[in-house]
């Protein structure tokens, strides 16, 4: 019923349900609740930790166990009702490697009035687009390419402020050289973390 508690907890509850002595059932159930808490210690961070365990106990027992619980038995329908369906956006992506979030952010900025605050957000978005471009394409990209694709995302309604030039990200050129090299060896002896590769000298055998 609830995989996080395992099959043994479920079997124990099934056995407790068949016990004729109510006091014995209550005693066994309290021990089972303690075991459930030990199996899921992360629940202790919740304010209603104990209440949650007892709710889960009723769920695992299929709401058919007759015991004296410290909390009222939950209504089964609250656990069996399917969640509301979330409709996914069916609009096609204009540029796949930017994803839908960047496309939506660009669209939201395009609808805002032109202000210095919007210009700052547009410049921040351009930096993030360049980062995503490099991650997916593993290649360097010019500022103008990013600016053109930003305009493309909004059908010409959004552009970076005039004269804006993106600063070089520290280590970007080194990382790109690493991606373009063969077998991870950097041309020119530069390591992707900024160190220079040094050839190790073979150790000469010690003379006896």
Looking at residue 208, its pLDDT comes to 55
Q: What are the residue boundaries of the structural domains of the chain, listed by start?
A: 3-80, 96-165
**What confidence score (pLDDT) does residue 150 get?**
94
Which has more confidence, 82 or 155? 155
Say whether pTM exceeds 0.75.
no
For the four alpha carbons of 69, 72, 74 and 75, in that order, the dihedral sign comes to: positive
35-47 pLDDT, tens per residue? 999 998 888 888 8
Q: Give 71: exposed, middle or buried? Use CB within 10 Å, 0-12, 13-18, 19+.
A: middle
Q: Which pLDDT value is given to residue 127?
A: 94
- For residue 128, which of 95, 150, 112 has the smallest C-alpha distance? 150
Strand partners for 185: 182
200's tokens: 């190790």
Is residue 192 predicted with pLDDT exceeding 50?
A: no
Percent of the chain with pLDDT over 70: 80
Give the length of the chain: 208
Render pLDDT for 109-165 as a digit per residue (tens, 0 to 9): 999 999 999 999 999 999 999 999 988 888 888 999 999 999 999 999 999 998 999
Contact partners, residue 12, CB within 8 Å, separation at least 6: 28, 32
> Where is 95: in which H helix or E strand?
none
H-run or E-run covering 31: helix 22-39
- Close Cβ partners of 141 (under 8 Å, ≥ 6 residues apart): 130, 133, 134
Task: Determine the pLDDT at residue 80.
Answer: 72
Helix locations, the chain, DSSP H: 6-17, 22-39, 49-60, 77-80, 99-110, 116-137, 143-153, 172-180
% of the chain residues with pLDDT over 90: 51
Between 60-74, 79-93, 116-130, 187-201, the lowest mean confidence (pLDDT) is in: 187-201
Average pLDDT of the residues of the chain: 82
Locate 180 and state its tokens.
Answer: 């373009």
On whether the CB atoms of residues 25 and 86 are closer than 8 A, the answer is no
CB 93 within 8 A of CB 99: yes
Token pair of 194, please?
């900024």
Q: Which long-range contacts link 52-58 to residues 24+ away (Cβ below 8 Å)?
A: 56/2, 56/5, 57/13, 57/29, 57/32, 57/33
Q: What is the pLDDT of residue 93?
A: 86
Average pLDDT over residues 92-117: 92
């Amino acid at each position: 019923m609830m995989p996080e508690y395992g099959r043994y907890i479920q079997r124990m509850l099934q056995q407790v349900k068949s016990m004729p002595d109510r006091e014995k059932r209550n005693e066994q159930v309290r021990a089972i609740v303690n075991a459930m808490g030990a199996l899921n210690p992360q629940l202790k961070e919740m304010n209603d930790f104990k209440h949650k365990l007892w709710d889960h106990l009723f769920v695992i027992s299929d709401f058919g166990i007759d015991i004296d619980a410290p909390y009222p038995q939950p209504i089964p329908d609250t656990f069996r009702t399917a969640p509301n369906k979330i409709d996914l956006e069916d609009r096609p992506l204009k540029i796949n490697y930017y994803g839908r979030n960047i496309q939506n952010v660009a669209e939201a900025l395009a609808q805002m009035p032109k202000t210095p605050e919007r210009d700052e957000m547009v410049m921040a978005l351009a930096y993030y687009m360049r980062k995503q471009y490099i991650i997916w394409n593993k290649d360097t990209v010019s500022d103008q390419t990013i600016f053109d694709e930003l305009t493309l995302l909004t059908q010409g309604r959004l552009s970076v402020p005039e004269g804006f030039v993106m600063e070089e990200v520290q280590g970007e050129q080194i990382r790109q050289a690493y991606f373009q090299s063969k077998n991870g060896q950097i041309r020119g002896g530069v390591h992707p973390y900024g160190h220079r590769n040094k050839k190790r000298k073979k150790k000469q055998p010690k003379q006896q």
